Amino acid sequence: MSQANTLPTQSHSPTLATLLSLIVPGSGQAYVGRRERGVFILLTAALLLGLLGWLNLWMLAPLGLPFWLWQAWEARLYAQGRNPGTARLILSAALLVYAIGWQVTQIDVSRVITSAPKVVPFVTGLVQPSYFDRQIDYNAIPAAIEIPCSPSPAGAASPASGPSISLSAACAAPGETVTITGSDFPANAEGEIWFQNAIGNRARMRGTEGLLTFEADATGAFVVEAIMPAVTNTEPQTQRLEARYVTAVGPLRLSETSWLVIGRMGETIAQALMATTLGAILAVLVSFFAARNLMRVNPATQAVYYLIRTLLNILRAVEPLIMAIVFVVWVGLGPFAGVLALTVHSIAALGKLYSEAIESIEPGPIEAITATGANRLQVIWYGVLPQVWPPFIAFTVYRWDINVRMSTIIGFVGGGGIGFLLQQWIRLTDFRAAGAAIWAIAVVVTVLDFLSSEVRKRVV
């Protein structure tokens, strides 16, 4: 056995060490002098048992058997003066940890397959975003029918040309079925059949399978069965049926969705720009008080340093989404709340990055300027700023890129920007509009990421 895997011979019983760890995990390791290891194993076992009890997942307890057996065998190896390593112990514990995680997160791979049809409309929207459309022309092709029948009902005249519908009967009683035949419609046109009574009230007609729709074939013809609705009149009166459909005419043009996306995307970029600018200015001021090398002059400045660092850590730990909710309550819905949330988070993030850049500067120029009798402000102006401006600019540009990404999410809680529209379209299941917003976000973020990386290359 190699020397790396062998420990000095111990005068401990391997059998006793094994039994102790089987009774109380980690006690065998403590018995052979590996107290820290024993405490770690005991705490790990207690944590795993606590999770099983808290989450009521006792059916997973058998998966802890490898950990329990290995730590007992490990105690035996230690008693024999051998080093068992750590990898097997961690892997045996990880088996139970991941099993608990699998149950807690309710992972069900089969649902990915069985629920796939639910995501088809969303994927279709991504593939066919509604950036362009044509002018919509609404059409209603009428036909007359008498309800109820008179002794000599008059048939409806057919139009000389163009789309038309004809009825299998000139009159009908309520509840009777009438065949509607359409001809000369646009190929594959889809539409609905409506009913208009004598006083002008309109309603969708019903067929044997629900609300009545039609779809013309390649020649523009269709045949459907309509059930005549009940009417209030008892005397025969002429009622009106309509075959309604829409056609797209004219050249392609930017859709209303496109204009909304462009406007909100511009708002998102402006949000990120304003938040980054305000955050960078305030972060520069804060960063000098958060730099250890500048604030270790005396106990008072050191206290300020720890205070500022603590505040930055706290603010950075709070997600911008949560900050946006707070500011939406504070100043109301809209992009202003988003700007405030991003600004506060940018101060915390940039303040940390700026202060670390200040801490990593070369002390030589500072010492040389200090030796000339310069005051504190002059030392910072001539000795610190020339060294930190390049990383400051790089961090700021990178932060703008991050803020553009965050702006899209902040909009989900009312912080303005493209995220607000995206949320509405998803809720309304308008997936083509949502797809247009998602592609716009992807393109803008990609372009800004490229630009920011190029800027950072040139200034660093």
pLDDT at residue number 136: 83
- The 3-state secondary structure of 166-233, one letter per residue: EECCCECCCCCEEEEEEECCCCCCEEEEEEECCCCCEEECEECCEECEEECCCCCCEEEEEECCCCCC
Q: Assess contact for 408 and 423: CB atoms under 8 A.
A: no
Q: Where are the domains of the chain?
A: 3-104, 134-252, 256-459
Task: Answer whether residue 2 shows pLDDT above 50.
Answer: no
CATH number, domain 134-252, options 2.60.40, 2.130.10, 2.40.50, 1.10.760? 2.60.40
Which pTM was predicted?
0.69
Q: Tell me the average pLDDT of the chain.
A: 88
Burial class (CB in 10 A: 0-12, 13-18, 19+), 375: exposed
DSSP-assigned beta bridge partners for residue 142: 242
Non-local CB neighbours of 91 within 8 Å, separated by 6+ positions: none
Mean pLDDT of 256-273: 92
Task: Answer whether residue 373 shows pLDDT above 60.
Answer: yes
Q: Assess contact for 283 and 354: CB atoms under 8 A.
A: yes
Sign for the pseudo-dihedral over CA of 90, 96, 98, 104: negative
pLDDT at residue number 453: 80
Task: Answer whether residue 459 shows pLDDT above 80.
Answer: no
Position with higher pLDDT, 415 vs 309: 309
Ramachandran bin of 430, using left for φ above 0, alpha for ψ from -120 to 50, beta for the remaining angles:
beta
Q: What is the pLDDT of residues 146-175, one digit of tens each?
A: 888 888 776 555 555 789 999 988 888 889
Separation of alpha carbons 332 and 286, rounded Å: 28
The DSSP secondary-structure symbol of 382 reads I
Separation of alpha carbons 446 and 401, rounded Å: 9
Non-local CB neighbours of 244 within 8 Å, separated by 6+ positions: 138, 139, 140, 141, 191, 192, 193, 194
pLDDT at residue number 158: 56
Non-local CB neighbours of 341 within 8 Å, separated by 6+ positions: 275, 320, 321, 323, 324, 326, 327, 410, 415
Position with higher pLDDT, 68 vs 5: 68
Mean pLDDT of 15-42: 94
Position with higher pLDDT, 382 vs 62: 62
Token digits for 367? Answer: 């010492």
The DSSP secondary-structure symbol of 82 reads B
Position with higher pLDDT, 436 vs 382: 436
* Percent of the chain's residues with pLDDT above 90: 52
Query: Scanning the structure block, which residue is given the tokens 């390593």?
Result: 85
- Angle separating helix axes 65-79 and 87-104, nearest 10 degrees: 170
CATH code linked to domain 256-459? 1.10.3720.10
Mean pLDDT of 77-86: 91
How confident is residue 9, by pLDDT bands cut at 50, 70 and 90?
very low
Highest mean pLDDT among 89-93, 149-153, 233-237, 358-362: 89-93
Separation of alpha carbons 437 and 422, rounded Å: 6
Task: Answer whether residue 444 shows pLDDT above 80.
Answer: yes
DSSP-assigned beta bridge partners for residue 248: 136
pLDDT at residue number 6: 47
Q: Assess contact for 273 and 400: CB atoms under 8 A.
A: yes
Separation of alpha carbons 423 and 334, rounded Å: 14
pLDDT at residue number 134: 82
